[in-house]
Amino acid sequence: MSAKVTKIGVLTSGGDSPGMNAAIRAVVRTSIYRGLDVFGIMRGYSGMIEDDIYQMNSRSVANIIQRGGTILKTARSKDFYNEDGRKKAYANLVKRGIDGLVVIGGDGSFTGAYKLSKEFGIPCIGLPGTIDKDLYGTDFTIGFDTAANTAVQAIDKIRDTAESHDRLFVVEVMGRHAGYIALHSGIATGAENILMPEVNTTLDDMVASLSEQEKRKKLVNLVIVAEGYTPDPSQPHLKGAAETTRLMEERLKGLEIRVTILGHIQRGGPPSCMDRFIASRMGFHAVECLIEGRHNVMVGILHNNMHYTPLEIAIREKQKISEDWMNIVKILAS
């Protein structure tokens, strides 16, 4: 693994996130500037197995920095879970002489990269491309800022309606296993309650909070729910805003509740300035890592400095929501 890298493959895997194109652009143009060949791998590990790979140049990434989604497409590959699938994928890399990989995605994508590297010795660099912001070792993930801002814009519009009616509005944002979009958008929009998978907020807590707000005649009642939140831990299959609302209506008779599920609009749209900036910065440093011999790490940003986390740690550890954040939510909603 100490051999000099001369040909780099780049792919996007898992869920798409705004800013992935900016990262691809940075990887391609930095590689070319450094005298390396660079290949785009379509549809993640599926394209690697199916040999859907092509050589890229500077024009391949022209006029994409402002576009959401990913020009390389993305997919989740069941075949890559099997050793035979990974062998076939590696054979396609060898056929083109690709001796280094940049994988843009989340922990599932990094798991695939880690296995490929361990089994076949190909150096891999991970770039944190996920709207969930749940990867350990970085303050930012590519796409989170755009997704959170999209949620804020939608919730602000819902607030306008909430001010006109004596109703409770429940808004579901993305986050199957992580509540960062709910946390950030909830604080930014002045939500009274924020429900996340990481925090055990019970229905009793919620009813007590809403009852107190009713006594104080609050003009607006907004509840932000991450899609992975479970209102009843004894029934973990019940998740999200719809189930939360159903159980709340059983306890709060006569209260009008409206539910909005924002869904995939949070994944789309032009990436924010922040997402374009960090994606460009990370993509540049991914190529520099391969050139310098720093392999099998996730490139992140901590305290505005580049930070390199071994892939196995980035996969195993998770970002944790601190008590400080929850204290801020409680105090500012009072």
Question: Closest by alpha carbon to 224, among 203, 194, 247?
Answer: 194
How would you classify the pairing of strands 168-173 and 257-261? Answer: parallel
Which is higher by pLDDT, 249 or 189?
Answer: 189
CA–CA distances in Å: residue 317 to residues 220, 251, 313: 38, 37, 6
3-state secondary structure of 70: coil
Contacts of 27-30 with C-beta under 8 Å, sequence gap 24+, read 27/102, 27/283, 27/286, 27/287, 28/56, 28/57, 28/58, 28/60, 28/61, 29/58, 29/61, 30/283, 30/284, 30/286, 30/287, 30/288
Start-end of CATH 3.40.50.460 domains in the chain: 145-267
Average pLDDT over residues 244-254: 83
Q: Using CA atoms, how far apart are residues 316 and 256, in angstroms rounded to an integer? A: 43
CA angle, 282 then 189 then 139, to 5° = 20
pLDDT band at 95 (very low <50, low <70, confident <90, very high): very high
Q: Tell which wins on pLDDT, 2 or 165.
A: 165
Residue range(s) in the chain whose domain bears CATH number 3.40.50.450: 7-143+271-316
CA distance 71 to 248: 43
User: Cα–chain-centroid distance for residue 64?
Assistant: 20
Catalytic residue among 132, 134, 145, 275: 132
- pLDDT tens by residue, 26-80: 999 999 999 999 999 999 999 999 999 999 999 999 999 999 999 999 988 889 9
Helices (H), 201-272: 203-215, 240-251
pLDDT value at residue 1: 45
- Distance of alpha carbon 94 from alpha carbon 88, whole angstroms: 10
Q: Quick one: fold of 145-267? A: Rossmann fold (3.40.50)
Q: Is 275 a catalytic residue?
A: no
pLDDT tens-place string over residues 285-323: 999 999 999 999 999 999 999 999 999 999 999 888 888
In angstroms, the CA 217 to CA 211 distance is 10
58 SS3 class: helix
Q: Is 327 or 286 the better-scoring residue by pLDDT?
A: 286
- Amino acid 216: pLDDT: 54
| Beta carbons of 10 and 72 less than 8 angstroms apart | yes
Mean pLDDT over each residue of the chain, to the nearest integer: 92
Q: Which CATH architecture has domain 7-143+271-316?
A: 3-Layer(aba) Sandwich (3.40)
